[in-house]
Amino acid sequence: MKKEKLLHEGKAKKIYATADDDYCIVEYKDTATAFDGLKKEDLESKGILNNAITTIFFKLLEEEGIPTHFVEQLNERDMLVKRLEIIPVEVVVRNIAAGSLAKRLGLEEGVPLSKTVLELSLKNDELHDPMLNQYHVYALELANPQELARMEELALRINSFLVDYLMSRDIVLVDFKLEFGRYKDEIILGDEISPDTCRFWDAASSEKMDKDRFRRDMGEVMEAYQEVLKRLQQ
């Protein structure tokens, strides 16, 4: 399939229509952003790496019976996906205290959580993605109870699989963000799973292998993304 009308351009991806209304094409950009876009930079080949990494994860999840919008990788930057009605509720899955959670709760970064934590936030850049609870979701009519329960169920299943899978690649899954959408009366996983949306730490050294290297000016950002891809391809 070929790209037609540009439907949406976000911070890291462009979404194009195709001749078939059931499908669209995602183009992964090299742009890296942090702090609601206040920090922005083009990192060579970031889009290529995220496309490759996301393809691996989506294929693995499909094999585990978890429905995703992935159809096929078209080329280095482009992915054919099912066209979703995105639910504007982001689900953040946390296994270890890091980032905003550590700051909010006064926890030392790196402290394992005794139970996996799910957080919800409104997908809205202008409002800086404020946190929600289930009552907000229902009051704003963003999703119904059955849909939200399905999103949470899938998020926990994804986490359970990825924690073990990544540990077999000597990577600790600290936390990650998921987005879901409606497709033919089904709730399925959309967006991406990559170092842009996850915190990956090296299992031996706790070295960061994700976008925190960009956020915190640690350098060697693309080297970390390349290392993640290398380990996934083993």
Domain boundaries, given as residue ranges, for the chain: 6-82, 85-220
Residue 60 binned pLDDT confidence (cut-offs 50, 70, 90): very high
Mean pLDDT of the region 202-207: 98
The reported pLDDT for the residue numbered 106 is 95
The reported pLDDT for the residue numbered 53 is 98
Mean pLDDT of the region 59-81: 98
pLDDT tens digit sequence for 115-124? 999 999 999 9
Q: Which fold has domain 6-82?
A: Phosphorylase Kinase; domain 1 (3.30.200)
Does the pLDDT at position 36 exceed 80?
A: no
Residue 109 binned pLDDT confidence (cut-offs 50, 70, 90): very high
Mean pLDDT of the region 29-42: 89
Residue 134 binned pLDDT confidence (cut-offs 50, 70, 90): very high
Residue 125 binned pLDDT confidence (cut-offs 50, 70, 90): confident
Q: Using alpha carbons, select from 7, 4, 14 the residue that is nearest to residue 77.
A: 14
Mean pLDDT of the region 104-133: 95
Q: Which fold has domain 85-220?
A: D-amino Acid Aminotransferase; Chain A, domain 1 (3.30.470)
pLDDT tens digit sequence for 143-188? 999 999 999 999 999 999 999 999 999 999 999 999 999 999 999 9
* Of 57 and 39, the one with more pLDDT: 57
Tell me the whole-structure pTM to 2 decimals.
0.96
